[in-house]
Amino acid sequence: MEMNYTEYLNYVELVLTEKAIREYARQMKTLGKFKESTDGLWEPVSYSGYTLITPTYLDDEENVDSYRFLSDIREELFWNIPFPGIVWAPTIALHMTIGRLISGDVFNQRIKDSREDEFLLACHQMFSHMSSSGSLNYEIKGLSVFPQGVIAAIVSPLTEGDYLGLQAVRDHLYEDNNLKQLGVERKRRFQGHISLFYLEEKLSGKERRMMADAISETNKRFFNTPVPFMIKRAEVRRFDDFSEFNRQDYWPAFRL
């Protein structure tokens, strides 16, 4: 399922092309994780679970400048896609997913309330069997669209060693028998990204073309040089919706 290093670099190159951005914008569906209230505000929809991610924006001391850069260009991009259904990913929630753990119906049925301590202990034990490879150097190469309803910054490894280091974490995660028994499984390949906007209302054909044009223009203006993104920690975090990804200090984390 996972891409090798060369395949991943080719994937990144593809998704950042104008042709791909235009095609993904044409296919884009609504995400369904926020709903509009009666007073016109976008409120998060309940959707709970656990995930393994880099520290969120305000907790990520290694990538302060990179997140500030993303915040600046996100604000500028927003003025070029002023459509009602474009919802900001909350700034305090910005992160890169390292590995999806358990969420939605599977979380509710398998571990919610009754087995969450067991789940966290299994994550602790899984990390205790892993060896640190050292910090991983990645870079943000530009913005693109995911047809599922997301506009995101695309993250790519600097070297093959950096890519294999992250894949090793994912392999430990998805091959751990205790976590498998609790419902954790590898459902999709790694596609490094930082979600910036969600689509929550259908767009017209003209709006989709405008969005694709604005994203491509942003890439031309701001991503002639990739933006550094260092990965030093993988943290287990819990969410009740897409507005926040929370953790306690004693929860499992792995320092690469």
Spell out the domains of the chain, with CATH numbers in brackets: 5-255 (3.90.1140.10)
The three-state secondary structure class of 98 is: strand
Strand partners, 199: 86
pLDDT in tens, 177-225: 999 999 999 999 999 999 999 999 999 999 999 999 999 999 999 999 9
Pairwise CA distance, residues 83 & 135, whole Å: 39
Kindly tell me if the per-residue pLDDT of 84 is higher than 90. no
Region for residue 141 given its phi and psi (left: phi exceeds 0; alpha: psi -120 to 50; beta: otherwise): alpha
> Counting beta carbons within 10 angstroms of the beta carbon of residue 237, is it exposed (0 to 12), middle (13 to 18) or buried (19 or more)?
buried
Work out the percent of the chain whose per-residue pLDDT is above 70: 100
Predicted structure pTM score: 0.95
pLDDT confidence bin for 39, thresholds 50/70/90: confident
Give 93-143 pLDDT, tens digit per residue: 999 999 999 999 999 999 998 999 999 999 999 999 998 888 999 999 999
Record the tokens describing residue 100, joined without a space.
């999806």
Provide the pLDDT for residue 37: 85
